[in-house]
Amino acid sequence: MPLLTFTSDFGSADHLVGGVKGEILKLNDGFQLIDITHEIIPYNFMQAAYVCRSLFHSYPPESFHLVLVNAFDSDLDHLLLVKHQNQILGMPDNGLITMILNGPPESVVAIPLPKGEKKGVRLFTRVIVEAFSALLSGVKMEKLGDAGVRIVEKNFMRPYSTDQYIDGQILMIDRFLNVVVNITEEEFEEKRRGRPFKIVLLRNTYIETISRHYADVPEGEKLAFFNEAGYLEIAVNKGYAAPLFGLGEYGGSGTHQHERRQYYQTVKVFFE
């Protein structure tokens, strides 16, 4: 049974996610559907790219991925069908794909949207799932669309750095209120060159070591580590890092004020 993951910024407050999944199964009930997340903050391309690039390597070859994030960024006349490292993606042509892959995909075609039909989530889902189904039936990718398309390109924002510091942007705050920063372990070590460092969170609040896991620090203490995706993460052992460092507040009702932010705050790492 082919796997089909679904990622969106639709949220879970209404019927939209359930409607898309119903459309998928109506078109091809042979897919095994897997929800990734539907809580991507609207218009937050950085968060969407981070989430998507962190998950695709976890799936077996020839898995399918439907990504509907910022789907109405422009008046589209086509969608993208992408194959990269044996993963197959369907999504709008809004620049997100190059942010996810950190460059152009290995193979891509533009699938035209039918003229005269109302553009919306239902149409986008149908066009992409029909393309996925055609690939499963043996149709070659280049037969499904225009392989000469010039896709929209956006860049995944890299941290600004000098010899003395790295200035990283917050990518997302997870449900544990840990803070993920766009500094990779490779970038960190390249700039550090074995020197002591300080990860500055607030005035007179900083971290000077990289931990392996939460148990490296006492309960209630802050820590920094590189997560499974390879990015710097700030946390508190059995606590909430984001509100503690002024990045949001936990309302106690299951909702977080930080979820409405775009995360343009930065975290600086200074080298001595």
What's residue 171's pLDDT?
87
- Quick one: which of 137, 151, 175 has its CA closest to 91? 151
What does the pLDDT read at residue 117?
87
Residue by residue, pLDDT tens for the chain (272 residues) are 899 999 999 998 889 999 999 999 999 999 999 999 999 988 889 899 999 988 888 899 999 999 999 988 778 899 999 999 999 999 999 999 999 998 999 999 999 999 888 889 999 999 999 999 999 999 999 999 999 999 999 988 889 999 999 999 888 888 899 999 999 999 999 999 999 999 998 778 899 999 998 999 999 999 999 999 899 999 999 999 988 887 644 344 344 444 444 445 789 999 99
Domains 3-143 and 160-271 are alike in CATH topology: no
pLDDT of residue 41: 87
Q: How far is CA 124 from CA 24, 98, 204, in A?
A: 11, 20, 50
Partners of 90 in beta bridges = 66, 81
Predicted local confidence at residue 72, as pLDDT: 86
The strand pairing partners of 146, in sequence order, are 110
Predicted TM-score (pTM) of this structure: 0.84
State residue 247's pLDDT score.
64
Of residues 69, 53, 51, 55, the one with CA closest to residue 175 = 51
Question: CA nearest 49: which of 89, 19, 85?
Answer: 89
- Structure token digits, residue 171: 């990518």
CATH code of the domain occupying 160-271: 2.40.30.90
Concatenating the DSSP letter of every residue in the chain gives: --EEEEEES--SSSSHHHHHHHHHHHH-TT-EEEEEES-PPTT-HHHHHHHHHHHGGGS-TTEEEEEESSTTSS--SEEEEEEETTEEEEEESSSHHHHHHTS--SEEEEEEPPTTSPPSHHHHHHHHHHHHHHHHTT--GGGSSBTT-------PPPPEE-SSEEEEEEEEE-TT--EEEEEEHHHHHHHHTT--EEEEEETTEEE----SSGGGS-TT-EEEEE-TTSEEEEEETTS-HHHHTTS--B-SSS-BGGGG-----EEEEEE-
Encode 19-54 in three state secondary structure: HHHHHHHHHCCCCEEEEEECCCCCCCHHHHHHHHHH
* Overall fold of domain 3-143: Rossmann fold (3.40.50)
From residue 134, give the alpha-carbon distance in Å to each of 60, 84, 142: 19, 17, 11
**Domain boundaries along the sequence of the chain:** 3-143, 160-271
